[in-house]
Each structure stands twice: as C-alpha cells, then as structure tokens.
Structure 1
Amino acid sequence: MRTPTKEERQWLFRYLEDHLLGATSGVRLFKEAADTWEGTPHGETLAHLHEEISGERSELLASLEAQGHTPNAAKMLLAQAGAAVARINPLNIRGGENGPGAQLELEALQSLVRGKEALWETLLALLDDGWSFPKYDRERLSHLAERARGQQQEIAAIMCSTAAERFRA
C-alpha cells in the first residue's frame, strides 16, 4: 500500500470538500424536488432519493473527519449559502411539476448525481493506486457508484414519463 504525501492528501481533501459543498446544496435541491412532487406518482421516489443523498453526504463528511480533516469553514459557509438559495429553488420557482422550470430541476438533479458517481469512480481509481479511505473500501465505493447510476436512471424515468405532460399548455 502506498502512502500519499502530505501535498497529495491536501489535494484530495480539497476535492472531497468541493464534493461535500455540492452534496450540501444537492441534499436541499432533492428535498425541494421531493416537496414539489409530493402527492404525485413520483413523490415517493424523490423523497427516497433525498434520503439516500443525505445519508451519502453524511458518510462523506464522516470519512473526511476520520481522516483527521476538518472541512474548510469558508467552503462550508458557502455550502450553507447554496443550500439557502436551493430553498428558493431558482430552477423551479413556481414549485410545480410542469413547465421548463420542472424540467431544469430534474436535469440539475441528474447532473448532481452524475457528479457524485464520478466522485466514487475517482476514489475507486485511487484505491487501485494504493490509497486508502476510512469508511470506504472497494465494495462500498462500487456499491455507491452503482447506486448513483440507479439514481440517475430513476430521475431519467421521471423526466421521460412526464416530459410531454410538462410542456403542454
């Protein structure tokens, strides 16, 4: 097993913090989407996705802390500001499941999950190079990457099954 240098670990921490920042806003965007779609056939799916995304964010934070790293306070403040903006839901201000705002909201959710999938794939590649991550082993990271792919498919299914309805006058 290879031991990363201090500089390499700092690069990794910056990368993980950026994903933590995105996850913080993403958790809020998924909550807003779940609220928007509550009572529809897709509300439960989005509520379930919100729970999974929230748990994965907590797991990422726990891994950083287990590595002895405290996330940058300025970045976390920025994450909280992003989460506050997400409460307004600028992509879907009207908060409905129809129209271009709803489409953009679903596309943004899918993009966030794709970014998360890339994180897990990157950590898997680093494992292959001899890195280790508290709380993450190959099996867990592979599971998270596969789950992200499934989450993207769930969002895509909502987009496809509701697209025609969404753009009707």
Structure 2
Amino acid sequence: MSEVELFPGHVSRLGLGTIPREDLAGQPGLALLQKLIAGEYPAPPIAGTLSFTLTAVEPGRSVFRGLPNESHLNPLGGVHGGWTATIMDSALACAVHTTLEAGEAYTTAEFKVNFLRPITPRTGEVVCEGRVVHRGRTLAVSEATLKDQAGKLLAFGTETCSIFPAASLAGR
C-alpha cells in the first residue's frame, strides 16, 4: 500500500482500505478507531474520495476534519449536500462506533441533516463533531455539528444506529 494525501496536512501512510474483518470481531470499537487515527490501519476509501478524515475519538464522541473542494461541487457551484451528509453520517456513526464492545457491529437506521449555511471551496477546512445522546442494547442515537474554522454552524444532524452481533454482517 502506498501513502495517500487525503487533503493538505492529512496523509494516510498505509493508503486506502478497510479494517481487517478479524479485528472487527475481536476488538472494541474505540480501540479500532484509535488505531485508525494512529495510522495502524489504512484510511477508508471514502476519505480519499471526499477529502475528509477521522481525527479524534473518545467514548461517545468522534471528530472529523474535511476540506471541500471543486470536485465536490453541484451544478450551481456549491458543495453538494451529499458531501455534507457523508461527513455528518461519518461523525454520527463513528461516535456510536466508539461505544461498541468486541463482537458488536452497527449500521445507520435513520439519518437527518439540517443544512444551515452554504459550503463552497472557499469555506476552507471544516470540523464535524459527533456525540452519542443515547446508547441502548440494540439502538443508539447521536447528534453532530459541522462548523467552519470561525466556529460558524454549517449543518446539524441526528442519527439512529442499529446495533447487532458482528457475526451478522453480510459476507461473513
């Protein structure tokens, strides 16, 4: 695997890829994400495509940084809402991921984003922070904010994730 620059100042030494399946079943979610940030796993392919990356985690919290650019534009010249939705979904879901025990997995069941301000390539680097609001046995709810470098709120979102045994993942 070769080194990949996700966006200026953020490099994945191991390139792009996924966490090995055996690690998903054998380690808690927080430990997996900490290893991802430490560069012990490659960055997810979506990070290279959309120029964002996970930069911090703690129990019930995740932080992503991203840099929207011209390749993310819609026909009117603004950053496509799908870019915003994807970084939001990533922060919302990874906040839940930090709460998983070894052998647990999750998937997004419901997701909502409020777009509050337009985003353009001139917006610069953005920060998306997700926090778990509730963690039950089979469902978790999280909320996230997306802010620019001045701290202006660009988007707000919520998500519900289903939690289930990792052995139930497709292809296992």
After TM superposition, the score normalised by the length of structure 2 is 0.31
- Bigger RCO of structures 1 and 2 (CA < 8 A, at least 6 apart): 1
The structure that is strand-richer by fraction is 2
Structure possessing the higher radius of gyration over alpha carbons: 1
After TM superposition, the score normalised by the length of structure 1 is 0.31
The structure that is helix-richer by fraction is 1
